[in-house]
Amino acid sequence: MKGTFRMRKLFFTVMAVAVAALVMSGADWPTQSGSPQRDGWARAEKAFTRENAHKIELLYKYKADNQARGLRALTSPMINGMLITYLGFKEMLFFGGSGDNVYAVDADLNRMIWKTHFDYKGDKPLASPTATCPGGLTASLAMPGSSSAAGGRGLGAAPGRSGLFATGFGRSGIFIAVSADGYLHALNTSTGGDKVPPVKFIPPNSSAGPLIVNEGVIYTATTDNCGGKPNAVYALDMSGGEGKLSSFAADASGIAAGTDGTICVQTKDGLHALTRDLQAKESFKATDGGSAASPAASPMASPMVFQWKGKDAVVWGNLHLLYSGTDAPSRTETTAHSPLTFASWEDAPDGPRWVYAAAENSVEGFNVEDRNGSPVLKSVWKAGKGGDSMVTANGLLFLLSGGKAPGGKATLRVLDGLTGKELYSWSAAAYAHDAGLAIANRRIYFTDHSNTVYCLGFMAEQPQLTGR
Amino acid sequence: MRKLVFITFLCSAAWSADWPTDGGNPQRTAWQKDEHVLNKDNVKGLQILWKLKFDSPPREMHSLFAPLILEQVKTSGGVKQIAIEAGIADNLYAIDVEAGKVLWQKHFEYPPVKEGRGLRPGDPLCPGGMTGTPVIGPPGANGARTVYAMAGDGQLHSLNVADGEDVAPPFKFGFGNGKSYSLNLVNHILYTSTSQGCNGNPNQMWAVKLDDPQHKVMTANPKSGGMWGRSGVAIDSNGVAWGPTGDGRYEKETQTYGNGLIGAKVEGDELKIVDYFIPSNWTWLQKRDLDFQVTPTIFTYKGRELLATASKECRVYLMDVKNAGGDDHQTPLDRTPLICNEEVNFASAGIWGSMANWADARGTQWVLTPFWGPVHSNFKVPVSYGPVKNGAVVAFKVEDKGGKPQLTPAWMSRDMNRAEPPVIANGVVYSYGNGENTEQAYADRGLDDSSPLRIKNSTHAVLYALDAETGKELYSSGDQISTFSHFGAISVANGRVYMTTFDSTLYCFGLPGK
């Protein structure tokens, strides 16, 4: 009888999800570069095309009451595509502010839903900001999931998981943030309140890279030895309720998660493959003499994982390619100039796998080709003007260049992903340090140093803004 | 003296008022034109004349539906004014409204429903049982009246109003436990609609010819989340049945008409969609779950037959039934600004249920809508009565502007806790705050639409009488009603105002001695 009841419950759950999937669509952009693999691929996004990209326009600006610290202001925007709150269905834009703030904004209406400010509780005083060590909230926020969740939160993950990371249609979720005092906060998506007591995560006054949430573990990497502590990668396993902390000493420029849970850490001289609790599995030295992306260049220079023939491939450093599909990991190298960011998509089922690498002054598009069972990168096009953050969607490449402080301006460019031809360009009012780009549900988002979030798209598709 | 008695009888007969269907008539005007007892001056003296608690348990949040009233029913005990009351537990009661006593009752028995996928305990959306308000047909050749009621197994029963006896064998019309909405009847064709996929039902409009020996069931399916206008469909003078389609998508090529309105007509032995309207912002409505789900109200204005309807977004739309939405099916005659729901809430704000219309002695045409939640900060109305936080009734005048009928806000009532569809009678508007807890999502856990929780957090309904021309409060029942009312409705006839509540109680308000 119990079994029957369970079956019925499961049936209704599945039906509810299926119905929801039919009637609602809301893709997430849950973390920097869209997924723990950092592939920057907005899989569900079909709104922008080669034909209409030139018509992209500013939909709105959201000005946050945040105080910039050093070069930092707002973190990269994230999107929770469909959240059922006690106030109704919401597509939620959320981001952090250097003044130890977290904001949740109704992404459709450009209206604040909630703001949370963290009171500093570190065992050391709040540090004064410097160019390299701004203090404050530095890590881009994250939530569980992946941009591959075309149907929005809960539809890309198995429903019914219990605890802090419970998912499922209509369930309240969490946004993860790390405050200036180094505490990790799991915030109720509906209210911004702490869903569980904050947990000590990284040293206070650290400069932390973008957060990843993977299999119940939250990861970040600290840079520039801020807060008087050496750089390290940190992991806080929250899957069991109480946080279990681990760390790995490294000058990491970025981290990405493999689909098997392997944590890939890029450092100046190589790539480290770690277990989910940061135990060393293997290390791979850069064969080009240590000219991989400098950690100092950008904490966002992370490796990228993509699937090739059903197995993980990792792109890192100067386009080193590591593939797990052979008995021994195969490696290939392609010369590039200190890429800052990668993106990748696959023109399935028959099209090629594309990999993009952007440096400060250039961006290059590659096809992944098969060489004796191992993937290699073959350059297809190269264009001038680079960027700090990339998203690929529907065969287009969206590239954000942060501009130079203090007078520069963050610039969004849209390129044809097949040819590199520029289709569109738009500049913000100010520069953006460690700028991050987000795309979800027919809209493009980024932030700049003026504490402003920019949202672009097509106004004709926004009846709630036009009143039509 | 005999002459005086005769004249008195004639006056009485001329004044007799019925309420044979939800909303009073097939057009769902909710306008009782024949009320002559209650008026603006005396309605302040309303009292509970009687209340009847039926042995008809609620299912989920549903209990009793809108009472139907016939004034002159020949029974074995003489001519009586009878109220027909339906309960979700498959019960039907006939009440002598003068005495406040049950004349007969019927319980529809049937084996467990096997079709469909079953119901989920605690789900307020799909209670199962008899969910559609019955309808009373016109007098037969012998003057007898038949009430048509659809039991929870989808069987349509035809009973003599006078004694509750079957006047025809039951036949299968609807989907078992499929949540059928209020029945409507025009020219021997019976209509209903179904929604929310309850028990796996197809969400669609249903029709059957009562004089068809085969009782072929005809359907029109807009391929949406459900046609959940509280009062079912409204039928225009051309026999087109109009129903809102609830949540869903619009795709012209595949005849998918979600988040809009369809008009369907029986042609031959088929129910065909002959027209439709889709709001230009349907994607927004879909995204925020702001369903188009309000039963329209139909009226004639300066020779044109118009309908008004609405959605949870909290706008009212005005259309010509001959060409709803114009050539592109997306251009109504008028669309009001947002009246409420600034928070864009899917559960506790917006317009729900059905609407109403009436024309005053000067010929001014009025359209009324209830709404839930706070009034929109940008909504301007010339007459109002204090802050509105929980809901209210808004009245519009239909006026010509540039040759087009438009809706001009006239008044907004006092605050009501979830205002429900109004009824107009003799210059008085009756409405009620249902007192129902309407929350479906919570800060700590998200979506959790649970009957036990909502029942626990509900309060009680309050009946109001308002001046129909100004919205001024004339009467409030205060704390006299014990429980809330979910999916209830008001009926008005012959100096009595009826409404029902969750505790299976039928209230009859009136003026003692009148």
**How many angstroms separate the CA atoms of A218 and A233, rounded?**
11
Exposed/middle/buried for residue B172 (C-beta within 10 Å: 0-12, 13-18, 19+): middle
Q: Which of A15, A26, A170 sits opposite B446 (nearest CB)?
A: A170
The C-alpha angle A230, A403, A205, rounded to 5 degrees, equals 25
Mean pLDDT of A193-200: 95
> Is residue B126 predicted with pLDDT exceeding 90?
yes
A19 CB within 8 Å of a chain B CB: yes
Please name which of B400, B425, B421, B393 lies closest in space to residue B497, comparing C-alpha atoms. B425
**How many angstroms separate the CA atoms of A412 and A394, rounded?**
17
The sign of the CA dihedral B16, B20, B22, B28 is negative
Beta carbons of A60 and A120 less than 8 angstroms apart = no
The verdict on a CB contact (< 8 Å) between A173 and B446 is yes
Chain B contact probe: residue of A23, A24, A59, A174 with most B CBs at under 10 A: A23
The model's pTM: 0.91
The total of other beta-carbon atoms located within 10 Å of residue B380's CB is 9
> Is residue A335 predicted with pLDDT exceeding 70?
no
The verdict on a CB contact (< 8 Å) between B283 and A88 is no
Beta carbons of A267 and A248 less than 8 angstroms apart = no
Strands B31-32 and B423-425, sheet pairing? parallel
**How many angstroms separate the CA atoms of A263 and A20, rounded?**
33
The total of other beta-carbon atoms located within 10 Å of residue A163's CB is 11
pLDDT at A319 (0 to 100): 83
Nearest chain A CA: its distance from B198 CA (Å) = 11
pLDDT (tens digit per residue) in A403-428: 988 899 999 999 999 999 999 999 99
Exposed/middle/buried for residue A363 (C-beta within 10 Å: 0-12, 13-18, 19+): buried
pLDDT (tens digit per residue) in A433-457: 887 999 999 999 999 999 999 999 9
Residue A290: pLDDT band with limits 50, 70, 90: very low
| ipTM attached to this prediction | 0.89
Nearest chain A CA: its distance from B185 CA (Å) = 32
Mean pLDDT of B204-215: 98
Nearest chain B CA: its distance from A381 CA (Å) = 38
Q: How is A269-295 classified by DSSP, letter by letter?
A: TEEEEE-TT--EEEEEE-TTSS-SPPT
The verdict on a CB contact (< 8 Å) between B443 and A188 is yes
**How many angstroms separate the CA atoms of A161 and A164, rounded?**
9
In the block, residue with structure tokens 């006056």: B11
Residue A348: pLDDT band with limits 50, 70, 90: confident
pLDDT at A8 (0 to 100): 43
> Is residue A298 predicted with pLDDT exceeding 80?
no
Half-sphere exposure of B429 (CA within 13 A, CB side): 34
Please name which of B450, B444, B421, B245 lies closest in space to residue B347, comparing C-alpha atoms. B450
pLDDT at A111 (0 to 100): 96
SS3 (DSSP) at A2 = helix
- B86 phi/psi in degrees, rounded to 5: -105, 140
**How many angstroms separate the CA atoms of B194 and B232, rounded?**
8
Mean pLDDT of A19-41: 78
The verdict on a CB contact (< 8 Å) between A172 and B284 is no
The verdict on a CB contact (< 8 Å) between A190 and B289 is no
Beta carbons of A89 and B349 less than 8 angstroms apart = no
A26 CB within 8 Å of a chain B CB: yes
Residues 81-100 of chain A with CB under 8 A from chain B are 82-91
The sign of the CA dihedral B472, B478, B482, B483 is positive
Nearest chain B CA: its distance from A106 CA (Å) = 10
> Is residue A387 predicted with pLDDT exceeding 60?
yes
CA distances for B474 relative to B38, B48, B128, B499, angstroms = 12, 16, 38, 18
Mean pLDDT of B58-63: 98
Name every chain B residue with its beta carbon within 8 A of the beta carbon of A170.
Answer: 441, 446-448
pLDDT at B443 (0 to 100): 87
The C-alpha angle B394, B399, B405, rounded to 5 degrees, equals 105
CA distances for B319 relative to A388, B278, B306, angstroms = 53, 12, 5
b/e map A27-57, b = 16+ CB within 10 Å = bbbbbbbbbbbbbbbbbbbebbebeebeebe
Q: What is the mean pLDDT of chain B?
A: 95
Token pair recorded at residue B226 = 């459900």
Residue A337: pLDDT band with limits 50, 70, 90: low
Please name which of A96, A93, A116, A95 lies closest in space to residue A105, comparing C-alpha atoms. A93
pLDDT at A167 (0 to 100): 65
| Amino acid occupying residue A207 | S
pLDDT (tens digit per residue) in B364-381: 999 999 999 999 999 999
The C-alpha angle A385, A390, A391, rounded to 5 degrees, equals 135
Q: Which residues contact B159 (CB under 8 A, 6 or more apart)?
A: B92, B106, B146, B147, B149, B165, B166, B167
The verdict on a CB contact (< 8 Å) between B247 and A23 is yes
> Is residue A293 predicted with pLDDT exceeding 80?
no
Beta carbons of B59 and B88 less than 8 angstroms apart = yes
Beta carbons of B199 and B116 less than 8 angstroms apart = yes
Q: Which residues contact B267 (CB under 8 A, 6 or more apart)?
A: none
Residue A145: pLDDT band with limits 50, 70, 90: confident
Token pair recorded at residue A18 = 């299926």
What residues form DSSP beta bridges with B295? B354
Mean pLDDT of A233-249: 92
Name every chain B residue with its beta carbon within 8 A of the beta carbon of A169.
Answer: 447
Nearest chain A CA: its distance from B80 CA (Å) = 48
A167 CB within 8 Å of a chain B CB: no
**How many angstroms separate the CA atoms of B499 and B67, rounded?**
7
Residue B81, sorted as left (phi over 0), alpha (psi -120 to 50) or beta, turns out to be beta
Residue A339: pLDDT band with limits 50, 70, 90: confident
Residue A13: pLDDT band with limits 50, 70, 90: very low
